[in-house]
A and B are shown apart, each in its own frame.
Chain A
């Protein structure tokens, strides 16, 4: 089968490190991802995401054509790259779910996806008009999918536009199962004073390739990303976070915390890209990784690309063991070492749950953690 490379590092490095991109099989998406959607406390008509013909209700639009395309607002970009977008566009006339919050509105949507056989895709356009607030929760739960999804693949693409003064929070929770591969792409454009917060939790998942591209075009626009992951048992997580500072006085903060267990392989690409002219901008990225077992692979490439003098960029990473002093202290309180490690692993997820600050999301994630 033909193979394609996706999730490219914006500034390439030595090929022998194997960090510039990830190679996947080129396959066809056969159908739309099956799931449900509801506006906060209200099930939307059509029994969730039925991708029925164009209707418009409760800010939800469905159809093969998005308002983004009609209004030439489709330049949100892609973190996974052109090859992924082409795959999505060429292999299946995927229908688009468009969520719109009108000016001044506050909207909250929840979407949940479970069993889908074969290769399925979901395309979502999120448009927050001037000075509105939009919160979208997307839950991808493959744990119940069992045998029939063993070779299943998902392709997910969120295109996001936040108009002047708008705020969008996108929360994604991936609860891994036997699904072969998840490709998750987010591309966003932010206008003046707009804010985007992307919070993601990855628990398990055989192979997950995920990326976020935030284009901070408007003056004083901002992007925050909080990511937590806990993977093991030969699972692979490939992340690509890109904050592109275009407008003046833009801000980005990307925090990634994770746990790697027995045979897990994680690669984080995190890029702060200061485009000439973005004076007064600040971009920061930070990573903390706890390695629980031997035979893990932890790869990190934190980039700062800078074409502007008047900016502030910073990166910090801490990888490895628990601080000896913490360990000694907790052991002296009678807590076994294994339990200490588990407590600290859960604390990483808990930190992001705290940022998400949502009861339902907490319940789902904690239940998954208890089930192990």
Chain B
């Protein structure tokens, strides 16, 4: 008889360090017009943004929570979430001027080192506000703008651009947490890549939520003009508390004609986090959006980056991996809308679950009447490491033109005993053999990342798998 092994949970101490927070910096918990006005006041919002926030709040209150699909968010009481934490410091461009405890946090996460070694620019957000933002001089000289969204909104060179694009792709009416985001958003990045500029090395924003029982609502707005290229990386983490935390960020990406934007995410929120994030890109003629997504953290995740292929020949590629362990319910996937002729999309996802973790792959492919000659291919594979866990695949396709080619395949299974036997017969322990197989399973994602990040992801997988056979 086959012997069952049980896979235990990861030791997250590496990410679980935290620093004392000053209660005076916290706004009151809950979501009221008074708190929204206070946030606007604190940030010196222009009038249109003040009105926008209050309108979004109205929408939030009247929008019901979808009750019939997705993981339960019963443990999240939004009225107890602190939506804004005042920064103790202003945003710095010199790392040495960042307050010591904040600096230590990012030092431990390796952010400054990554900046020195492989990035064109870095933004670091601590709770509600950016504390550091820097862009290499030569990159800035090429006309690339990389700053926090608030500064851009107050800069007359970009103010109109922000107003024209802010929450136009993800309107507050999209869903309840988009409305919440519209009301309380704070921090995040603004990136502008001018026509013809190809940025060969990536930009990165790192989001750290240190405060207990708080929410992070950063807004990332990226505009890539014609014939340009950008690779943007975001990373997220938080220490674990016993109270629920909320991340309801929003990412809006505008990809111009014949441009390419690669957006990579390694998400490793703590396991008390409700990650209800919304990401959306619109791609013009000949443009391409590439999503690379690794979801490892959070207690509950709802995450489905969406690509709207709006111009002839626009393309989307989504490569994702989700790893759900004990106490995690990660509902991830992607959405594609083919809205123009000759558009194409490719989705390749892997999910792994263990120790009672629940992983759900959810997707939708919509091929509209106008999308003649379009192609789409979806491939999703799931690996279950024990029978305590659960893995569901819920892909939807809606095709409305005969001149389209749509292919879909999904597979679910377990680590083959033969493969483990082969590797153990070559001297590996069972634990090492399984870690190697899982690493290989995730290979399609890690090879899409810059080497440093691929190594981080592989280390995360190793951490999840190590000391696990019992």
CB of B398 within 8 Å of the partner chain:
yes
Q: Is the CB of A17 within 8 A of B66?
A: no
Residues of B within 8 A of A318 (CB): 406-407
Stretch of B119-127, B243-251, B378-386, B430-438 contacting A (4+ beta carbons < 8 Å): B378-386
Given A297-B398, A299-B397, A320-B399; A306-B68 close (CB under 8 Å)? no
Mask of A1-26 contacts with B, CB within 8 angstroms, 1/0: 00000000001111101011000000
Q: Is the CB of B68 within 8 A of A311?
A: no
Which of chain B's residues has its CB closest to A312's CB? B413
Q: Is the CB of A298 within 8 A of B400?
A: yes
Stretch of A62-70, A168-176, A218-226, A287-295 contacting B (4+ beta carbons < 8 Å): A287-295
CB of A310 within 8 Å of the partner chain:
yes
CB of A317 within 8 Å of the partner chain:
yes
Residues of B within 8 A of A309 (CB): 384-387, 389, 414
CB of A74 within 8 Å of the partner chain:
no
Complex Cα–Cα for A297 and B367 (A)? 10
CB of B401 within 8 Å of the partner chain:
yes
Given A316-B408, A319-B404; A17-B364 close (CB under 8 Å)? yes
CB of A305 within 8 Å of the partner chain:
yes
Q: Is the CB of B409 within 8 A of A301?
A: no
CB of A258 within 8 Å of the partner chain:
no
Which of chain B's residues has its CB closest to A276's CB? B387
CB of B168 within 8 Å of the partner chain:
no
- Min CB distance A250 to B, Å, is 15
Mask of B391-407 contacts with A, CB within 8 angstroms, 1/0: 11111111111111111
Contact residues of B between 349 and 389, Cβ < 8 Å to A: 360, 362, 364, 369, 382, 384-387, 389
Which of chain B's residues has its CB closest to A282's CB? B413
- Neighbour of A296 across the interface among B382, B386, B395, B400, CB < 8 A: B400
CB of B69 within 8 Å of the partner chain:
yes
Contact residues of A between 221 and 266, Cβ < 8 Å to B: none
Mask of B54-86 contacts with A, CB within 8 angstroms, 1/0: 000000000000101100000000000000000
Q: Is the CB of A319 within 8 A of B391?
A: no
Most chain B CB within 10 A, of A279, A291, A304, A316, is at A304
Contact residues of B between 239 and 268, Cβ < 8 Å to A: none
Given A276-B387, A292-B402, A317-B406; A304-B396 close (CB under 8 Å)? no
Complex Cα–Cα for A131 and B364 (A)? 44
Q: Is the CB of B68 within 8 A of A15?
A: yes
Residues of A within 8 A of B382 (CB): 304, 306
- Neighbour of B396 across the interface among A19, A307, A314, CB < 8 A: A19
Q: Is the CB of B406 within 8 A of A320?
A: yes
Q: Is the CB of A315 within 8 A of B409?
A: yes
Contact residues of A between 84 and 120, Cβ < 8 Å to B: none
CB of A302 within 8 Å of the partner chain:
yes
Q: What count of chain B residues pass the 8 Å CB interface test?
A: 38
Q: Is the CB of A319 within 8 A of B396?
A: no
Given A276-B387, A312-B413, A315-B393; A302-B408 close (CB under 8 Å)? yes
Residues of B within 8 A of A81 (CB): none
Q: Is the CB of B69 within 8 A of A12?
A: yes
Q: Is the CB of A13 within 8 A of B412?
A: no
CB of B411 within 8 Å of the partner chain:
yes
Complex Cα–Cα for A295 and B405 (A)? 16
Complex Cα–Cα for A17 and B385 (A)? 32
Q: Is the CB of B410 within 8 A of A11?
A: no
Q: Is the CB of B406 within 8 A of A319?
A: yes
Q: Is the CB of A15 within 8 A of B407?
A: no
Which of chain A's residues has its CB closest to B354's CB? A309
Given A15-B69, A315-B408, A315-B409; A301-B396 close (CB under 8 Å)? yes
CB of B271 within 8 Å of the partner chain:
no
Q: Is the CB of A314 within 8 A of B68?
A: no
Most chain B CB within 10 A, of A14, A17, A294, is at A14
Which of chain A's residues has its CB closest to B386's CB? A309
Q: Is the CB of A310 within 8 A of B414?
A: yes
CB of B390 within 8 Å of the partner chain:
yes
CB of A313 within 8 Å of the partner chain:
yes
CB of A345 within 8 Å of the partner chain:
no
Q: Is the CB of A319 within 8 A of B362?
A: no
Q: Is the CB of A14 within 8 A of B408?
A: no
- Min CB distance B65 to A, Å, is 12
Complex Cα–Cα for A13 and B69 (A)? 6
Residues of A within 8 A of B395 (CB): 301-302
Q: Is the CB of A13 within 8 A of B362?
A: yes
- Neighbour of B398 across the interface among A299, A304, A315, A316, CB < 8 A: A299
Q: Is the CB of A301 within 8 A of B406?
A: no
Residues of A within 8 A of B402 (CB): 291-294, 296, 320-321
Q: Is the CB of A311 within 8 A of B396?
A: no
Complex Cα–Cα for A12 and B389 (A)? 19
Q: Is the CB of A310 within 8 A of B387?
A: yes
CB of A182 within 8 Å of the partner chain:
no
CB of A180 within 8 Å of the partner chain:
no
Residues of B within 8 A of A314 (CB): 409-412
Q: Is the CB of A15 within 8 A of B397?
A: no
- Min CB distance B415 to A, Å, is 9
Contact residues of A between 123 and 151, Cβ < 8 Å to B: none
Most chain A CB within 10 A, of B387, B396, B399, is at B396
- Neighbour of B68 across the interface among A12, A308, A313, CB < 8 A: A12
CB of A37 within 8 Å of the partner chain:
no
CB of A303 within 8 Å of the partner chain:
yes
CB of A361 within 8 Å of the partner chain:
no
Complex Cα–Cα for A317 and B1 (A)? 36
Complex Cα–Cα for A306 and B408 (A)? 18
Q: Is the CB of A315 within 8 A of B384?
A: no
Complex Cα–Cα for A306 and B412 (A)? 8
Which of chain A's residues has its CB closest to B391's CB? A306
Complex Cα–Cα for A274 and B384 (A)? 12
Contacts A/B (CB < 8 Å), 23 sampled: A17-B364, A19-B398, A291-B402, A293-B402, A295-B369, A297-B398, A299-B397, A301-B396, A302-B393, A302-B395, A306-B390, A306-B391, A306-B393, A307-B390, A309-B386, A311-B412, A311-B414, A314-B410, A315-B410, A317-B408, A317-B409, A320-B404, A321-B404
Q: A12-B69, A295-B369, A304-B412 are in contact. List 13 more A-B contacts (CB 8 A).
A: A11-B360, A17-B398, A298-B400, A301-B394, A301-B395, A304-B393, A304-B410, A306-B392, A306-B412, A311-B412, A317-B407, A317-B409, A321-B405
List 3 A-B pairs, minimum CB-CB distance, nearest first: A291-B402, A12-B69, A319-B406
